[in-house]
Amino acid sequence: MSKEKFVTKALDDGAGIVKFAPSWVPRTFLPPGGRMKLAPQDLYTLGVERGGFCERWFASAAPADNGPGTPKDEGMSYIVIKEVSKFNEVLFKDAIDCAGETFIGKAMFKKYKGWPIFSKFYDYLYAIPFHLHLKEEHARKVGRQPKPEAYYFPPQLNAIPGRFPYTFFGLNPSTTKADIKRCLQKWNEGDNGVLNYSKAYTITPGTGWVIPAGILHAPGTLVTYEPQWGSDVASMYQSKVEDRLIPWNNVIKDVPKDHQNDLDYIIDLIDWEVNLDQKFKEHHYVEPKLVRNPKEMEKEGYIEKWVTYGTELFSAKELTVFPKKSVKIKDSAAYGLIVVQGHGTLGGFEIESPTMIRYGELTNDELFVTIGAAKEGVKIENKSSNENLVILKHFGPENPDVPK
Ligand SMILES: [Zn+2]
């Protein structure tokens, strides 16, 4: 079947909704936390040298940047359709190239030439090394896109908070460029002490943060749902996390060749003004916001909250459908979704939050709702008589429904 035919069939079969296969991403710099429901014997299935599966990417048209030996499609979502007993798949990116206007609407496709965001779960055993994602001016120099990101900590995945449920953000207001430069100079002396210049905040299930590019952060060990711009650029500033030494290559992987020994250049990747902000938490911490009057929603059998908002670039909602309720939910924009609790149906699809997933196997927890289907309204039914059905929905830029 040609790509075009496949995409048409997938859209017809699902009435504007398509299903994804899980996209697992390994990382070498830290061990995985093991809480994303992937079977434990599959965590290192690509080989120890490729690292363990620390991330699962959703509705992704962007590849993971895991260095030499990384398959071209790592991190990218595949759309799947079932024909008799056989599964066929096509890259979400190719589907967008074939039928972008149908998937995400004319305006977004024209402006961004594709689906520019994705979301992920990440799940690390240790806190992630203190790092930042490049701003546009620095990303452009290495032919990449900037990476603003947001976090929401789904309660369903965080019964066990891990060993360090605190995140370091930004720099203490008295920090100077010379302080951080000295930390980089001490890279090969064990712990370079960069966290002495930052402050950790408790991170709490059911809350979140919005973090533009250029902000230093060392995310703690909660399982995190992370809507973000579709890019994988980063620079690390911390040389040691617990017993792990971080190779210097992680500092300069997205630094142009002629600046790789230029510590002043690396220091200037930091957005100093925003990192030194005295009111950092006030400006970046996010509590869920109800989509509309809660009494009205409850009467209809559901509750819906914005969990990522306050940026034009992406947004996310958490939808809870109560036991044995059937609802029809409209949105003004296309979205990807992941089911985090319960089971039922969504449009013509059976949906459920899996308990254990084998690597390479399909799930019923991830879909994409095209703009037409979203505007029309999606029928969602919770088939359980006891348990809530909970879904996280990730939207692209300029969703007109997002609160400021
Ligand atoms: Zn980050």
267 CA → ligand 1 middle, Å: 17
307 CA → ligand 1 middle, Å: 18
Lowest mean pLDDT among 64-68, 93-97, 393-397: 64-68
Q: Give 256's pLDDT tier (boundaries 50, 70, 90).
A: very high
30 CA → ligand 1 middle, Å: 14
Q: What is the pLDDT of residue 68?
A: 82
Q: What is the pLDDT of residue 302?
A: 98
131 CA → ligand 1 middle, Å: 6
Average pLDDT over residues 321-334: 98
4 CA → ligand 1 middle, Å: 35
Bin 84: left if φ > 0, else alpha if -120 < ψ < 50, else beta: left
> Rounded to an integer, what distance in angstroms lies between the CA atom of residue 342 and that of residue 322?
10
279 CA → ligand 1 middle, Å: 20
Average pLDDT over residues 234-253: 94
351 CA → ligand 1 middle, Å: 30
236 CA → ligand 1 middle, Å: 9
Q: What is the pLDDT of residue 87?
A: 76
218 CA → ligand 1 middle, Å: 7
Average pLDDT over residues 325-338: 98
The dihedral sign for the CA sequence 31, 37, 41, 45: negative
338 CA → ligand 1 middle, Å: 21
Query: What is the model's pTM?
Result: 0.96
* DSSP character string of 232-291: ---EE--SEETTEEPPTHHHHTTS-GGGTT-HHHHHTTS-HHHHT-TTHHHHHEE--EES
28 CA → ligand 1 middle, Å: 15
190 CA → ligand 1 middle, Å: 22
> Rounded to an integer, what distance in angstroms lies between the CA atom of residue 255 and that of residue 103?
34
316 CA → ligand 1 middle, Å: 18
310 CA → ligand 1 middle, Å: 18
Q: What is the pLDDT of residue 84?
A: 62
> Quick check: do 3-286 and 294-395 share a fold?
yes
Q: What is the pLDDT of residue 397?
A: 97
User: Which residues does 193 contact at the CB level (< 8 Å), separation at least 6?
Assistant: 183, 186
What residues does each domain of the chain span? Answer: 3-286, 294-395
264 CA → ligand 1 middle, Å: 21
Report CA 309 to chain centroid distance, whole Å: 14
Percent of residues, the chain, with pLDDT higher than 70? 99
Residue 247 has pLDDT above 90, yes or no: yes
For 204-213, write each residue's pLDDT tens digit: 999 999 999 9
For 113-159, write each residue's pLDDT tens digit: 999 999 999 999 999 999 999 999 999 999 999 999 999 999 999 99
350 CA → ligand 1 middle, Å: 33
217 CA → ligand 1 middle, Å: 6
> Rounded to an integer, what distance in angstroms lies between the CA atom of residue 67 and that of residue 327?
45
The answer to whether the CB of 131 falls within 8 A of the CB of 237 is yes
Distance in angstroms between the alpha carbons of the first and the last residue of the chain: 44
For 171-184, write each residue's pLDDT tens digit: 999 999 999 999 99
For 274-293, write each residue's pLDDT tens digit: 999 999 999 999 999 999 99
Question: Tokens 């459908």 appear where?
Answer: 321
Q: Mean pLDDT for the chain?
A: 96
Q: How far is CA 75 from CA 18, 19, 21, 230, 376, in A?
A: 18, 16, 11, 10, 30
Structural class in CATH, domain 3-286? mainly beta
CATH homologous superfamily of 294-395: Jelly Rolls (2.60.120.10)
For 190-201, write each residue's pLDDT tens digit: 999 999 999 999
Residue 85 has pLDDT above 90, yes or no: no
Q: Give 245's pLDDT tier (boundaries 50, 70, 90).
A: very high
133 CA → ligand 1 middle, Å: 6
284 CA → ligand 1 middle, Å: 14
Beta bridge partners of 286: 208
